[in-house]
Amino acid sequence: MADLRINLAGIESPNPFWLASAPPTNSGYQVQRAFDAGWGGAVWKTLGEPIINVTSRFAGLHFGGQRVLGFNNIELITDRPLEENLKEMLETKKLFPKHTLIASLMVEHKREAWHEIVKKVEAIGVDGLELNFGCPHGMAERGMGSAVGQHPDLIRQQVEWVKEVAQTPVIVKLTPNITDIRFTARAASEGGADAVSMINTINSLIGVDLDSWLPIPHVDGKGAHGGYCGPAVKPIALNMVAECARDPQVGIPISGIGGISTWQDAVEFLLMGASGVQVCTAAMHHGFRIVEDMIDGLNNYLDERGIASVMDIVGKAVHTYSDWGHLNLNYKVVARIHEETCINCNKCHIACEDTSHQCIDIVTDEMTGKERLVVREEDCVGCNLCSIVCPVEGTIEMVEIPSDQPPLSWNQRQAALAADRSCEAAQE
């Protein structure tokens, strides 16, 4: 049994799986059920001035028979009075002293407002704070949430205000609705944040009803953009985590969020630099019990590899993530088809023929009359498209072709060319 405990910027937790601040953490009843089910921590539904929610709030993106690949919401922060939330948080912490309880906060752009709420939640004994600079709808129109999260200066300043009074670690939750998340992560770090968490939801409109021509969801005939999350956003979140993890100017621990549904997703985030993960949509889709396989699967994965502690894998893949200019231009892979498992759907052929480099031939075997798919390796550019569309996992393998050239990146190549040119210039 591997050690699954984590330490994220001084916050300890029995395991890396936390519920993200969202409907699953709306009340004491829910968070206590979640802890019973095995979740290591919970970030309480964002506290602030109580708001009024609209009804009809969520929509799902279903694709090809799979439900909830993506999820969209126009819900705001907590709609319950602060006192009620605080009372239940206190009770929850008493019942579950070893579990991690984080208060998510969002208030107006005022120093006193931040001071006041920080003191209130710390008084009941939370393990840390998460500043919500991420909600993309509603709150942003009132100058909060992602309206702050899109301005490095505003982030820096508000973090500084919080740090003036905070006794517990401060996590800053960032919005993905921005061109380069490193700028806002750096601002949080400069402001004194102990960690960053990402991502909050992405601006989205799930769909339009073909009969009524109304946006989905709509509220009495009108819609507004919502926040997108769920499995579909994982690649966006994973990239943002990795970019921050490898940026020395960010330099603080990361809590990874966005599309995490399985232990495998979690391992990827941990390898790319997250010290723990947060989950919302997967819990909303299946209930708290999904954490059982997350814990079991992660534990078996670590045991299988003889890794004693989950913290030992944190960030282990970050050094492999780089800029395009550093990739080796002389590395070559080609597609190889394993005929034993090929079912002759010809999808690889048509994908390559119509949309890539026309190098998978359908060849009729003269002896048997059977068709085979053959890659002309000399023409294959190693784009992976065929192996992506192939329905039988493992049938198209991308194999490395040894190169007689030494590794050479674009940057090295340009540097060498420039050196040549300056030599020529000097010679002239």
Partner 1 sequence: MSVRREETKTASMLQANFQEVVPALKPKEAIDEANRCLFCYDAPCIKACPTSIDIPSFIKKIATGNLLGSARTIMEANPVGASCARVCPTEELCEGACVLNHASKPIMIGLLQRHATDWAIKNQKILFHAGEQNGKRVAIVGGGPAGLSAARELARLGYEVTVFEAREKAGGLNTYGIVSFRLPQEVALWEVEQIEQMGVTIKTGTRVGVDVTPEELLQSFEAVLLAAGMGAVPMLNIEGEDLIGVLDAISLVEDTKTKPLTDLMLGKKVVVIGAGNTAIDGATASKRLGAQLVQILYRRTEKEMTCYEFEYEFAKQDGVEFRWLVAPTRIIGENGRVTGIELMRMELGEPDAKGRRRPEPVPGSEFVMEVDFVVKAIGQTRHVDLIEMFGLQHKNGIVEIEEGTYRTSHPHVYAAGDVIFGGGNTDAMVVDAANHGKRAAHAIHTALEAKSQPVL
Ligand X SMILES: Cc1cc2nc3c(=O)[nH]c(=O)nc-3n(C[C@H](O)[C@H](O)[C@H](O)COP(=O)(O)O)c2cc1C
Whole-number minimum distance, CB 183 to ligand X, in Å? 19
Check: CB of residue 229 under 8 Å from CB of residue 204: no
**269, 377, 410 from 327: Cα distances, Å:** 22, 22, 7
User: Whose Cβ is closer to partner 1: residue 71's or residue 263's?
Assistant: 263
Q: In angstroms, how far is CA 77 from the centroid of its own chain?
A: 21
User: Whose Cβ is closer to ligand SF4: residue 205's or residue 389's?
Assistant: 389
Q: Which residue has 């299988």 as its token pair?
A: 304
Number of residues this chain uses to bind ligand SF4 (CB under 6 A): 15
User: Whose Cβ is closer to ligand SF4: residue 120's or residue 285's?
Assistant: 285
Q: Where do the DSSP E strands lie in 98-192?
A: 100-105, 128-133, 170-174
Site residues (CB under 8 A) for partner 1, limited to 48-67: 66
DSSP string, 264-297: HHHHHHHHTTEEEEEESHHHHHH-GGGHHHHHHH
User: Whose Cβ is closer to ligand X: residue 284's or residue 359's?
Assistant: 284
Element (H, E) at 207: strand 207-208
Three-state secondary-structure class, residue 425: helix
Distance, CA of 70 to CA of 226 (rounded, Å): 12
Which of ligand SF4, ligand X, partner 1, none sits in contact with 373, Cβ below 5 to 8 A by type? ligand SF4
Question: Which are the catalytic amino acids?
Answer: 135
Candidates 32-40, 65-73, 200-208, 335-343: pick the segment binding ligand SF4 (CB under 6 A): 335-343
Q: Is the dihedral of CA 387, 393, 396, 402 positive or negative?
A: positive
16 is a site residue for ligand X (CB under 6 A): no
Among 297, 312, 332, 356, binds partner 1 (CB under 8 A): 297
117 is a site residue for ligand X (CB under 6 A): no
Candidates 94-102, 278-286, 372-380, 392-400: pick the segment binding ligand X (CB under 6 A): 278-286
Whole-number minimum distance, CB 170 to ligand SF4, in Å? 42
User: Whose Cβ is closer to ligand SF4: residue 150's or residue 395's?
Assistant: 395
Among 233, 242, 334, 337, binds ligand X (CB under 6 A): 233
Among 35, 71, 269, 288, binds ligand X (CB under 6 A): 71
Q: Are strands 202-204 and 226-229 parallel, antiparallel or unpaired?
A: antiparallel
* HEC-encoded secondary structure of 305-359: CCCCEHHHHCCCCHHHCCCHHHCECCCEEEEEECCCCCCCCCHHHHHHHHHCCCC
Q: Is the dihedral of CA 382, 385, 386, 387 positive or negative?
A: positive
363 is a site residue for ligand SF4 (CB under 6 A): no
343 is a site residue for ligand SF4 (CB under 6 A): yes
Three-state secondary-structure class, residue 19: strand
Which residues is 375 bridged to in the sheet?
360
46 is a site residue for ligand X (CB under 6 A): yes
392 is a site residue for partner 1 (CB under 8 A): yes
Whole-number minimum distance, CB 301 to ligand SF4, in Å? 24
User: Whose Cβ is closer to ligand SF4: residue 229's or residue 373's?
Assistant: 373
195 is a site residue for ligand X (CB under 6 A): no
Site residues (CB under 8 A) for partner 1, limited to 270-289: 286-287, 289
Check: CB of residue 272 under 8 Å from CB of residue 238: yes
254 is a site residue for ligand X (CB under 6 A): no
21 is a site residue for ligand X (CB under 6 A): yes
Cis amide bond preceding 260, omega within 30:
no
Residue 350: CA count within 13 A, CB half-sphere: 6
260 is a site residue for ligand X (CB under 6 A): yes
Structure tokens at 136: 């993309």
313 is a site residue for partner 1 (CB under 8 A): no
Chain residues that interact with ligand X, rule: CB under 6 A: 20-23, 45-46, 58, 71, 73, 75, 77, 104, 132, 134-135, 173, 200-201, 229-230, 233, 257-260, 279-282
Interface residues toward ligand SF4, by CB under 6 A: 337, 342-348, 373, 389-392, 395-396
